[in-house]
Amino acid sequence: MKLYPTIGLETHAELMTESKLFCSCSARFGGGENEHCCIGCSGFPGALPALNKKALELIVRAGFSFNCEIARFTKWERKNYFYPDLPAAYQVSQMERPVCAGGFLEINVSGEKKTIRLNRIHLEEDAGKLTHEGNRSFADYNRTGVPLIEIVTEPDFHSADEVVAYVEKLRQILQYADICDGKMEQGSLRCDVNISLATIENTQAGKLGVRTEIKNLNSIKAIGRAIQAETERQTDIIESGGTVVQQTLRFNDANGEITPMRNKENAHDYRYFPDPDIPPVVLTEEELKSFKAALPELPEVRMSRYTAEFGLSPNDAAIILGDKNVSDFYDDTVKIYNSPKTLAGFIIVELLRRVNLGEANMKSLSFTADDFAELQRFVDEGKVNRDIRKDILRDMLESGKSPVQICDEKNLWIKEDAGAVEAVIDKIMAANPAAVEQYKNGEIKVFGFLMGQANKELKGSAAPATVKNMLEQKLKKA
Amino acid sequence: MESLIQLRKSLDEKKISVRELTKQYLDRINHYTGNAYVSVTEETAFKNAEIAQKLIDTGNATALTGIPCSVKDNICVAGIKATSGSKMLEDFIPFYDAKVIRDLAAQGYVLTGKTNMDEFAMGNSNRTSVFGNASNPHDVMRVPGGSSGGSAAAVAADLCAYSIGTDTGGSIRQPASHCGVVGLKPTYESISRHGIVAFAGSFDTVGPIAKTSEDCAVIMESLCEGKDFTSKLGRDIKGVKIALIKELFTDSVDTNVKTAVMDKVEFLKSHGAEIIEASMPVLEYAAPAYFVLASAEGASALSKFDGVKYGLKGEGASYDEQLRDSRTRGLGDEVKRRIMLGNFVLSGDNMNDYFRKALAVKQRVIREYNDVFSKADAIISPTSMRTAFSLDEPSDFVKIYSSTLYTVPANLAGLPCVSTPCNISRDFDKQNMPAGLSVTGKKFDEATILQIADFIERGAR
């Protein structure tokens, strides 16, 4: 009996708004304990919420990005439960009328395309954070009230690979659309995974097994591992004749263990009901139009621009699109110097290598896109030797100086001074009479040696073609 | 007993200073034994008086400048306890002012103190207050009504010129009726609920209790910039169409109350008002629907009282134990009863069986009101089916809950409604407890209901 997993995903993404969902406190990560708090987000009597319009725009943006139907009328409910990280003892969320319904996302798993259907996206508030020291607990409400969207899929996944591909794609889109920073390590993007197992026949007939839910996975690696572990756990239970219990589980990232949080009997009855303090919102066509106009360019659109307009290979385009910071930087360089292909090459071959080596950070480069583009222009125009491009780049990273400054200081400009080149070649030939003799005897491969010696002496101050031509002529005459 | 209008005149004409006036009121409060106040804010009052006097002296006085008032104890004033009549918040001192307090302060109000109330505004007799009930100034052995019982008693005993209360299901109008003063529940959300300890956000309404409808109109106009409350005061009521809803004049209404109300209806008719008979069959379900909805919201609103952030700290080894202890000791029986009711109607399938049905009743109430208001300018009804009852009358919850029929329809529909005394005349007899008559109007048409109530009051003077 081969068992087949069916998986659904709920992803929580914190929105990149300045302030919280229902008050004007900062929504930024960090800050001293309880510094981003007011009477509203810390649950004092008499506080009233006021909806953050930017959060509404961002969830609508998510709706556009994931092909959802956007509600013209949307409202909020209270989800009631006691927990010390929830100061009002209810979370404002959306039940009946979420902002976005339906939608889909296309993923690519080992070369095969697959469509993942979305059920809904709704706008809600985050809870606070608890820390425990010995038998004491501390509540920090900085995160309380930070706007979240919850993106719920249909149970369309059947492997961990599909889920991972989906989360990666989702994260990329959220980042490109400036909806969520996607920092899973800071908890700004986290997933709950629902899994059930059944035979292929039953799965196809829609007869799914008992479902469990793993809460709060906060890395792509953990998602893959947790699905693997839970699939194995359920398989063991079913194969040994047991039944899977419907329950909520926790995945321990450190040891890979799955432990129960609560089972169905202890499941909360959240007693959802319309929040009397938050008036329903009617979204007008004008608002939606202005939200659409402000929608940043999504990765797929950029991909086709890079390949069709810039002529990059799909592979190179994908490398650049892999990080929004890189892609944004690339676009900035192209705006300054319209040579998208050489710039893409420079970024992929040299800049990303520095990044991967940890010598550069895309978010805090010591030079501007301007400087970077200019350096490539000098190379392309034959003003700077291509071979020393990487050295100049490293110098820019370290010193923050502009390429002009570096070339001036280190005398790296190609000098079209035929006399100087001739003098150097004469010197090299005089110093290596054996090599010259070998060349004359038909051993052409020593040409490279002589060329290298000359270039070493010239320190990149002459165009390679000039050196090559002159050396060839001199050797013929010798 | 002087009205706000009269006091305004005395202050503006410098017949009395704000400080002297404040002292007079504070003296009365300090000698009063009826438990109308839970905090007397003498120091604040004198500070306020100083500011108010300056405003008057510099010609910057407005209607409320220097007039001693009180506010219900579920309204937050920075630095002053806001207990909401509960042990849970016995020591809770907010560090922020409610919006209505900011607006009052901007006019140079004089705060004499915070008034007694039913715990978290849940009750209609003021007996659920952890501080014990306020008594009715007309008969100390009777309840003042509730939940704004302390506010109504304080105005009736002239411990303040006016009081700011809240009305979720009748909490301004019913005590005003029992204490023989005027209480106005304005249109829902006319005055911000910011800084009001929430009971049921869909219905909680801030409003004044004062000696006359004219005073209420002046207070409202001071608090709601640009809105009209006073323009119709003193106009004759010829041709004004007044509806009587048959479901609110059944045999459940005490004969004396009914007679008092009908006397005033006859009085209005004799001055040219047109009386129309109407029916609102949905009212049969109004009180149960109100209790379902308000208790559900109340259960949720009161959940934040867990003793963690403020309020009565619970004992115990875990959060759950501390929570249980805090709420077991911190909340009173009536509040617990409503929390249980509220959670019950929201749990599982009950959401459909109770909560959604109650919402449907609410919509129906609005529709039937619209029908009546397509033919009438205002509705007159008794505020309560009887006068203030005895303090030791046992609490029969079904009876108490169903007795709210006369006040909750206006809350369900968010309509303005004013209660004015209808059996007090110059020869008011203390044996005869005050009864109230309610005038309900169209949304934001306080001007018309205040005109009618004021007309009745002028007739009685």
Residue B86 annotated to the active site: no
- With a cut of 90, say whether residue B375 has pLDDT above it: yes
pLDDT at residue number A370: 94
Contact B196 A269 (CB under 8 A): no
Q: What distance in Å separates the CA atoms of residue B315 and residue B307, rounded to the nearest whole number?
A: 10
CATH number of B4-223: 3.90.1300.10
Q: Which residues are CB-contacts of A329 (< 8 A; sequence separation ≥ 6)?
A: A347, A362, A365, A369, A372
**Domain contains A291:** no
What would the mean pLDDT of A74-85 be, rounded to a whole number? 95
Residue B425 annotated to the active site: no
pLDDT at residue number B426: 44
Q: A266 pLDDT band (50/70/90 cuts)?
A: low
Question: How deeply is B283 buried, as exposed, middle or buried, from its count of CB atoms within 10 A (0-12, 13-18, 19+)?
Answer: buried
Is A175 within 8 Å of A181 (Cβ atoms)? yes
pLDDT digits (tens, 9 = 90+) for A382-436: 888 888 899 999 999 999 999 999 988 988 888 767 778 888 888 888 888 888 8
**Domain contains A68:** yes
DSSP strand pairing (B378-382 vs B436-441)? antiparallel
Q: What distance in Å separates the CA atoms of residue B348 and residue B364, rounded to the nearest whole number?
A: 24
**Domain contains A11:** yes
Together in a domain, A280 and A312: no
- Residue where a domain terminates, one of A358, A385, A410: A410
**Chain B residues with CB-CB distance to A46 below 8 A:** 76, 94, 96, 98, 193-198
**Chain A residues with CB-CB distance to B309 below 8 A:** 42-44, 87
Q: Which residues are CB-contacts of A406 (< 8 A; sequence separation ≥ 6)?
A: A392, A395, A396, A399, A412
Number of domains in chain A: 3
- Six-digit token pair at A121? 């996206």
**Domain contains A326:** yes
- Can you tell me the ipTM of this complex? 0.94
Together in a domain, A320 and A178: no
pLDDT digits (tens, 9 = 90+) for B357-368: 999 999 999 999
**B197, B303, B351: residue with CB nearest A90:** B303
Expressed as residue numbers, the domain containing A91 is 3-286
pLDDT digits (tens, 9 = 90+) for B159-216: 999 999 999 999 999 999 999 999 999 999 999 999 999 999 999 999 999 999 999 9
- Residue where a domain terminates, one of A410, A427, A456: A410
DSSP strand pairing (B241-245 vs B378-382)? parallel
Together in a domain, A20 and A133: yes
For a pLDDT cut of 90, what percent of chain B falls above it?
Answer: 95
Q: What distance in Å separates the CA atoms of residue B81 and residue B76, rounded to the nearest whole number?
A: 8
Q: How many CB atoms lie within 10 A of CB A174?
A: 28
Q: What distance in Å separates the CA atoms of residue A317 and residue A330, rounded to the nearest whole number?
A: 10
Q: Does residue A269 sit at the B interface (CB-CB below 8 Å)? A: yes
Greatest alpha-carbon span in chain B: 71
**Chain A residues with CB-CB distance to B350 below 8 A:** none
Is B150 within 8 Å of B165 (Cβ atoms)? no
**Domain contains A292:** no
Together in a domain, A270 and A353: no
Together in a domain, A228 and A101: yes
- With a cut of 60, say whether residue B430 has pLDDT above it: no
pLDDT digits (tens, 9 = 90+) for A274-313: 999 999 999 999 999 999 999 999 999 999 999 999 999 9
- Six-digit token pair at A7? 């998986």
For a pLDDT cut of 70, what percent of chain A falls above it?
Answer: 99
- With a cut of 50, say whether residue B315 has pLDDT above it: yes
Q: What distance in Å separates the CA atoms of residue A17 and residue A7, rounded to the nearest whole number?
A: 31
Together in a domain, A386 and A433: no
Together in a domain, A74 and A91: yes
- With a cut of 50, say whether residue B427 has pLDDT above it: no
Eight-state DSSP code of residue A296: P
Together in a domain, A312 and A452: no
**A45, A139, A277: residue with CB nearest B76:** A45
Together in a domain, A395 and A249: no
Residue of chain A whose alpha carbon sits nearest to that of B99: A46
Q: What distance in Å separates the CA atoms of residue B188 and residue B417, rounded to the nearest whole number?
A: 10
Domain boundaries, chain B: 4-223
Contact B303 A48 (CB under 8 A): no
Together in a domain, A42 and A75: yes
Residue among B83, B93, B150 at smallest CA distance from B116: B150
Which amino acid does the sequence have at B265?
A: V
Q: How many CB atoms lie within 10 A of CB A341?
A: 13
Is B219 within 8 Å of B255 (Cβ atoms)? no
**Domain contains A369:** yes
- Six-digit token pair at A66? 């994931």
**Domain contains A424:** yes
DSSP letters spanning B81-122: ---TT-STTTT---SS--HHHHHHHHTT-EEEEEE--SGGG-
pLDDT at residue number B53: 98
Together in a domain, A153 and A236: yes
Contact B351 A43 (CB under 8 A): no
Q: Does residue A89 sit at the B interface (CB-CB below 8 Å)? A: yes
